[in-house]
Amino acid sequence: MIIGLTGSIASGKSTVAKMITALGLPIVDADIVARDVVEPGTEPLALIAEQFGQDILLEDGTLNRAKLGDIIFHEPAKRKILNDIMHPAIRQEMLRQRDAYLEAGNKHVVMDIPLLFESKLQHFVERIIVVSVSEEVQLRRLMERNNLSKEDALARMHSQLPMSVKEKGAHAVIYNNENLGQTEDQLKKILTKWEVIDAN
């Protein structure tokens, strides 16, 4: 079974992903793939340098993420150019990793995709788990974790689809408002019900 794991910023999705890894399930992590596809020597990095200029690269040939972030944050047209380079490369590599796990004999693969719904990638997976959290808890965690003002934290939260919309699109929801033990129990119940792990 191909399982999609998603959530929203500061919902605790990465924590759940670690629990899944501890259960021995292979994970394709979209965030790691996004970094890997722009390593020095890759075609996407060459295209980015072509579009944004060579000074977008650091001395060691790696991407200057901070500089690129400043450019695309203020210019939507430039952001579209970057997305048009990055998204196909990320999707291709994610599918390659998924298929490699399946060919290696894994029956189940989890695809950790933060913007699963926003990017309309539901067709990549067979079942979707959403890690959900109340807005109050999400706001508090985000402000603490990223040292943000309330306004900045809310702006980041509102740039994504509301949790309620994601929950509607899920086959299962993990509520991550309480302690991690309860979160792990919910995860194990879902995976047992789907016969991904044994009930023990």
Specify binding-site residues for ATP.
10-15
DSSP the chain: -EEEEEE-TTSSHHHHHHHHHHTT--EEEHHHHHHHTTSTT-HHHHHHHHHH-GGGB-TTS-B-HHHHHHHHHH-HHHHHHHHHHHHHHHHHHHHHHHHHHHHTT-S-EEEE-TTTTTTT-GGG-SEEEEEE--HHHHHHHHHHHHT--HHHHHHHHHTS--HHHHHHT-SEEEE-SS-HHHHHHHHHHHHHHTTSS---
CB atoms within 10 A of CB 153: 22
Residues in the annotated binding site:
10-15
Distance CA 112, CA 128 (A): 10
